[in-house]
Chain A
């Protein structure tokens, strides 16, 4: 969650604008227009209801309300809204597909193997410090 401020600004591609090419960088992107090519961001991608994407996408979180044709990689969450359409394979840690959404393709889950690095403190450590005295 603390990483959210890494991508500190949100770019907007409005309805009648088209990008043909590659997009990358630490940004959030809100798409209401048309993109063909590839998108690789460290922020979040939001494909709005008028957005059409024909590109492979990679981002932290991806929300689809429009149409996406291409492979999608969300390092955290992929969300497809009822109006959303995804034709292509997806890879994500968690997926959330609402009723009414269209998804045609393969789905792969990212296994969080890196989590073992975190300190795993047993929850009963405080209990161990205060040994119970037998009460009469």
Chain B
């Protein structure tokens, strides 16, 4: 445990682009372990461990030391940490360099940074997150062009 923790409290990692409603950003620190369901409206940054389910209207940022086991459902999901389970996004998913994913991703728009590791399957059907047809996996390379064009 770093002794500098008190200072750290003030400068917790927050992506600059969530400045819209910082007050509403739920923050789960790296020592917090949650077992169960987290739901509601708003943005979440998680550094700790979650065993269960996220069901959010908003943005979920899974930061570097975080470990998620279960399903994450949100509008926008960005991952720096470790996820075992599935990511279901209404808008987009971004896997950053340090992300480690084992499981499924369902999103209409996806970006992956170099260095991220992803073991699993992607469906980009967008509208129907529940229909995990294995057939859709084979066509992952086909809609790549459309996926790229939606990214900046």
Contact = CB atoms under 8 A, between A and B. Distances in A.
Q: Do A and B bind each other?
A: yes
Given A5-B5, A5-B6, A9-B12, A21 B26 contact: no
12 contacts: A5-B5, A11-B48, A14-B42, A18-B40, A19-B37, A21-B35, A21-B52, A22-B35, A23-B35, A27-B32, A27-B48, A29-B32
Question: Is the contact region of chain A dominated by helix, strand, or loop, or is it mixed?
Answer: strand
Nearest to A33: B40
Interface residues of B, number: 32
B91 to A, nearest CB: 19
Interface string B1-31: 1110110110010000000000111111111
A8 to B, nearest CB: 2
B32 A23 contact: yes
B147 interface: no
Nearest to A21: B36
A29 to B, nearest CB: 7
B15 to A, nearest CB: 16
B25 to A, nearest CB: 7
Interface in B27-80: 27-42, 44, 48, 52, 56
Nearest to B24: A14
B42 A21 contact: no
Contacts of A5: 1, 3, 5-6
B37 A20 contact: yes
B31 A14 contact: no
Nearest to A40: B33
A110 B27 CA distance: 32
A40 B44 CA distance: 21
A69 interface: no
A8 B32 contact: no
B4 to A, nearest CB: 8
A21 B50 CA distance: 10
B18 to A, nearest CB: 12
Nearest to B5: A8
Given A12-B27, A25-B33, 18 more contacts: A8-B1, A8-B2, A9-B30, A10-B29, A11-B27, A11-B32, A12-B25, A13-B26, A17-B39, A19-B34, A20-B38, A21-B36, A21-B38, A22-B35, A23-B32, A24-B33, A25-B48, A37-B36
